[in-house]
């Protein structure tokens, strides 16, 4: 009885061994055919989990790449639009300087005014430009709303102040545009700190020139009025009508008080006044429109010439601020494009690392696999021969 059990156990053991060998050969064969070491998670659970993580990382990196391409395209379009905007503003500035020449006649200035208004229309078109997907570029996050609308001589912004952030890397986002409110509607008037202007009722030939802050600690950002009490004497009062200072005047003198100063040419009449107020936000479209109005002012005497010069000078200062705003936006766009380029290089390097690591985990070492297959086949053949010979043995063979 015990001999029968021993023989049965030996038989089962041999069959089990050959089945395991056959399974190993089958696995190796499938690995060679597919070129992959891991065919199912059960083959190597730890490596399989790591491979899943790497594939997810690789997928995210590829999505970051697509996002970067979208952001690059949109920012490049914005840069083109801002460059064109700068060209228009520079052209308008040149026209304003031409019109500010006292030797120019009314008819010639009318022609300049026509071109300024044409440039204004081009400026509005640029602010309402759409990107390659038909979305307004300068409307913030309200991409389907026309941002700049003109009603008579006034201009309104219908977009918002938002920026769309696009993720271009792990923990890294970039804005793919700028709202028109910041670029076109938040332009500081005057020199960016204060705005000096002539009263519309002036009858003299006084023309306000450039101004600056010479002592920031004294400037309190109040509203001031400079009034000429005589042709060569003026007084300065603040918003409460309190007397701030007085002084004598000669054409071309600098008027200074409370840490600020500005030049004044020409000869103001008694009672003429000039207002000084903190810079406020204006839109560039109104500036250009007002500039066209000023240029088209008919000159027939010294007072009207001064009115023309004061109007043009004031809007020229605003134009300089607008050009600075566009330059600032272009700088930001350039910085973002540089950030995207750097991140794309990082993403490419990460993708290569992920792919190489994934290959080490999943890809098959053909030399090792072929050697293993040969060894497994040899062992199986030996096991089969041994099994056959063992089954042929009997005690009668030894009698």
**Total-model pTM:** 0.79
Residues 322 and 181 in one domain: yes
How much is the pLDDT for 376? 62
Residues 143 and 168 in one domain: yes
Confidence class of residue 32 from pLDDT cuts 50, 70 and 90?
low
In this structure, what are the phi and psi dihedrals at residue 79, rounded to the nearest 5 degrees? Answer: -60, -40
How much is the pLDDT for 378? 73
Residues 109 and 221 in one domain: no
Domain count along the chain? 2
Residues 256 and 324 in one domain: no
* Residue after which a domain boundary falls, among 279, 297, 330: 279
Residues 236 and 331 in one domain: no
pLDDT of 168 above 50: yes
Average pLDDT over residues 192-218: 94
Residues 108 and 150 in one domain: yes
Residues 210 and 270 in one domain: yes
On whether residue 176 sits in a domain, the answer given is: yes
Average pLDDT over residues 142-170: 94
pLDDT of 272 above 90: yes
Question: Under a CB-based contact definition with an 8 Å cutoff, are residues 178 and 283 in contact?
Answer: no
pLDDT of 33 above 70: no
pLDDT of 223 above 80: yes
On whether residue 334 sits in a domain, the answer given is: yes
In this structure, what are the phi and psi dihedrals at residue 93, rounded to the nearest 5 degrees? Answer: -65, -45
Q: Is pLDDT larger for residue 42 or for residue 197?
A: 197
On whether residue 287 sits in a domain, the answer given is: no
On whether residue 388 sits in a domain, the answer given is: no
Residues 268 and 226 in one domain: yes
CB 240: neighbour CB atoms within 10 A?
7
Confidence class of residue 52 from pLDDT cuts 50, 70 and 90?
confident
Confidence class of residue 398 from pLDDT cuts 50, 70 and 90?
very low
Residues 338 and 260 in one domain: no
Q: Which of 191, 183, 134 is nearest to 163 (CA)?
A: 183
Residues 247 and 129 in one domain: no
On whether residue 63 sits in a domain, the answer given is: yes
Residues 185 and 209 in one domain: no
Q: Is pLDDT larger for residue 20 or for residue 134?
A: 134
Question: Under a CB-based contact definition with an 8 Å cutoff, are residues 225 and 217 in contact?
Answer: no
Percent of the chain with pLDDT over 90: 69
pLDDT of 366 above 60: no
Confidence class of residue 395 from pLDDT cuts 50, 70 and 90?
very low
Confidence class of residue 140 from pLDDT cuts 50, 70 and 90?
very high
> Residue 374 is encoded by which pair of tokens?
């040969």
Question: Under a CB-based contact definition with an 8 Å cutoff, are residues 246 and 162 in contact?
Answer: no
Question: 285-343 pLDDT, tens per residue?
Answer: 999 999 999 999 899 999 999 999 999 999 999 999 999 999 999 999 999 999 999 99
Cβ neighbors of 23 (< 8 A, separation 6 or more) are none
* Residue after which a domain boundary falls, among 223, 248, 279: 279
On whether residue 275 sits in a domain, the answer given is: yes
Average pLDDT over residues 55-82: 93
Tell whether the torsion through CA atoms of 85, 210, 331 and 135 is positive or negative.
negative
* Residue after which a domain boundary falls, among 248, 279, 310: 279
Which domain does 267 fall in, by range? 195-279
Average pLDDT over residues 196-205: 95
Question: Under a CB-based contact definition with an 8 Å cutoff, are residues 266 and 207 in contact?
Answer: yes
Percent of the chain with pLDDT over 70: 79
Helix (H) or strand (E) holding 160: none
On whether residue 215 sits in a domain, the answer given is: yes
Residues 120 and 223 in one domain: no
CATH number for the domain spanning 175: value is 1.20.1330.10
- Of 22-31, 42-51, 208-217, 350-359, the one with minimum mean pLDDT is 22-31
- Say how far apart CA 326 and CA 328 lie, in whole Å: 5
On whether residue 203 sits in a domain, the answer given is: yes
């Amino acid at each position: 009885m015990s001999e029968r059990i021993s023989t049965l156990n030996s038989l089962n053991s041999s069959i089990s061994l050959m089945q395991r060998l056959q399974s190993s050969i089958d696995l190796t064969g499938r690995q060679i055919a597919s070129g992959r070491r891991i065919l199912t998670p059960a083959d190597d659970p730890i490596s399989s989990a790591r491979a899943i993580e790497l594939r997810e990382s690789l997928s995210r990196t590829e999505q970051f790449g697509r996002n970067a391409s979208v952001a690059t395209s949109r920012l490049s379009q914005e840069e083109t639009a801002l460059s064109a905007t700068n060209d228009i503003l520079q052209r308008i500035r040149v026209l304003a300087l031409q019109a500010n020449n006292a030797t120019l006649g009314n008819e010639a200035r009318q022609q300049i005014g026509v071109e300024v208004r044409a440039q204004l229309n081009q400026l509005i078109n640029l602010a309402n430009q759409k990107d390659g997907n038909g979305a307004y570029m300068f409307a913030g996050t309200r991409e389907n709303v026309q941002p700049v609308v003109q009603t008579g001589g006034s201009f309104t912004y219908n977009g918002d102040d938002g920026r769309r952030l696009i993720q271009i890397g792990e923990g890294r986002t970039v804005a793919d545009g700028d709202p028109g409110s910041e670029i076109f509607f938040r332009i500081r008037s005057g020199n960016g700190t204060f705005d000096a202007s002539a009263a519309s009722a002036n009858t003299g030939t006084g023309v306000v020139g450039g101004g600056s802050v010479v002592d920031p600690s004294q400037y309190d950002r109040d509203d001031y009025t400079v009034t000429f009490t005589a042709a060569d004497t003026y007084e300065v009062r603040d918003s409460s009508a309190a007397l701030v200072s007085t002084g004598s005047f000669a054409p071309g003198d600098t008027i200074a008080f409370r840490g600020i100063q500005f030049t004044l040419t020409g000869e103001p009449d008694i009672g003429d006044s000039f207002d000084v107020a903190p810079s406020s936000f204006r839109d560039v479209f109104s500036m250009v429109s007002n500039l066209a109005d000023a240029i088209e002012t008919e000159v027939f005497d010294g007072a009207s010439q001064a009115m023309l010069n004061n109007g043009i000078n004031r809007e020229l200062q605003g134009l300089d601020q607008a050009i600075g705003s566009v330059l600032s936006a272009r700088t930001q766009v350039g910085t973002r494009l540089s950030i995207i380029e750097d991140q794309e290089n990082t993403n490419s390097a990460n993708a290569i690392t992920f792919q190489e690591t994934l290959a080490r985990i999943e890809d098959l070492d053909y030399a090792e696999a072929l050697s293993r297959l040969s060894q497994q086949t040899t062992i199986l053949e030996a096991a089969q021969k041994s099994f056959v010979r063992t089954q042929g043995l009997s005690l009668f063979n030894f009698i």
